[in-house]
Structure 1
Amino acid sequence: MRDRFPTIASVVILAGLVIGTWFAAEHTQRAVTLDAPAKQTHEPDSWGKVMLMLRTDENGVPISRIEGDYMEHFPDDDSYDIRYPRAMSIKPGQPTLVGTSKLATVLDDGNRIIMKQDALVMRLASDTTEPLNVSSNEITLLINEDVAYTDLPATAVRNRSTLKGVGMRYDNKTGELKVFDSTDVEIAPRARQAQPPATEKKP
């Protein structure tokens, strides 16, 4: 019995320590108010003036260019806000697209550019395409897909023809312009071909 007494005493002491620790932990959790995790707000962490952002493909060939007067970066969604931006899609072999507005938000590593306030997207003239302008209060550019679209009222102008509607999508690869809800169309008449002057027959 004397040989077992130290072992029994050790077990009792150990059990007492475990129970005491458990009660102390419970008391501490109830007594101390844990702060809620800090919410990540949409606040800029860096900014700059007269910014220029250039994206290239896997071969190092430039495919887009964004410049503006002032830039702010937001770490919560890794986005950029740019004042008075000028965005360009400059992919080789395709018409150049130029987008301007008062404000732009750049997302997805520069692939998605949301042009806001007086947004204008221009397809510049080339050897195979005529100039095309699409204007709206907001237009989104998808650089990788080479697409511009809006769900808001928009106006498309090509030469003297005008197309108005709600919701437009322009694919720069195919040159196709889709209007989801057309409201007004003005197509300029083709110029009449000049007729050769009549010749008078002599008797």
Structure 2
Amino acid sequence: MSTARRGRFGLVTLILIGAMMALGSLWLLEVVRRAGVETARAVKRTEPDYYVDNFNYVRMAENGEAQYNISGKRLVHDPVTDTHLIDQPVVNSLSAERAPMSARADRARVDSNSDKVYLYDNVQLNRPASPKADYFHLDTDYLVMLTDEEIMETDRPVHMVIGKSILNGTGMKVNNATGELHLASRVHAVLPPKTATR
């Protein structure tokens, strides 16, 4: 073989080895990149993904009218359970057919569909007297509000004042749409005497 051919053969071999190393490096880089993307997808986020301070949220009914509003000191979204955690919540019903009702608590959790509101610690519910309903006040430490059905329930002790009546019990279910009230156990009631009619 001539010297020129040997030089060309060495140069071609060197270029081929360099090209193979470059392709191998690109392939290895792509494998590492894809593994990193898949690992990032596999890692679930456990920290809140957003929060709002001093907020006011209005839930609309299907007919376009305001159904209720929730305000609070801080709202935090939990991406793992897709729920909202609220500090110092205040829930106000905005029904045109019924007397307005307001609920307060130390904290709350709202599910992803916004149709269940869980109130925790120092829960107080108030409804002023109206021509259609007596004054209503409720104290408990846990309450579930099913907003679409207008139902409130708890399995914990409750203290209620309805008009001039005082009710205590453990476990309660109230249907605000029908006006039904059910106390489950350990019920104690103080009812005012009926006024005489002539």
Which of the five TM-score ranges fits, normalised by the shorter chain?
0.7 to 0.9
| CA RMSD after TM alignment | 2.3
Measured in 1, the distance between the counterparts of 2:143 and 2:180 equals 16
Structure 2 contact 84–112 (Cα < 8 Å) conserved: no
The aligned counterpart of 2:55 is: 51
Structure 1 contact 139–150 (Cα < 8 Å) conserved: yes
Unaligned runs of 5+ in 1: 1-34, 196-203
Correspondence list, 1:126-137, <5 A? 126-137=130-141
The aligned counterpart of 1:76 is: 80
Correspondence list, 1:67-106, <5 A? 67-106=71-110
Closer/same/farther in 2, CA of residues 39 and 123 from structure 1, 3 Å limit: farther
Alpha-carbon displacement from aligned partner over 1:90-116 (angstroms, at most 9, x marks no partner): 122123221100101111422111111
Match of 2:175 among 171, 174, 181: 171
Structure 1 outlier segments of 4+, above 3 Å: 37-42, 190-193
Measured in 1, the distance between the counterparts of 2:99 and 2:173 equals 16
Match of 1:155 among 150, 153, 159: 159
Please state whether the residue corresponding to 2:113 is helix, strand or coil: helix
Correspondence list, 1:188-199, <5 A? 188-190=192-194
Alpha-carbon displacement from aligned partner over 1:16-69 (angstroms, at most 9, x marks no partner): xxxxxxxxxxxxxxxxxxx8x956465311112101110112232100100001
Closer/same/farther in 2, CA of residues 137 and 42 from structure 1, 3 Å limit: farther
Please state whether the residue corresponding to 1:174 is helix, strand or coil: coil
**What percent of counterpart residues are identical?**
24
Measured in 2, the distance between the counterparts of 1:71 and 1:41 equals 18
Measured in 2, the distance between the counterparts of 1:115 and 1:173 equals 20
Measured in 1, the distance between the counterparts of 2:84 and 2:129 equals 30
The aligned counterpart of 1:64 is: 68
Structure 1 contact 68–84 (Cα < 8 Å) conserved: yes
Q: How many residues align?
A: 160
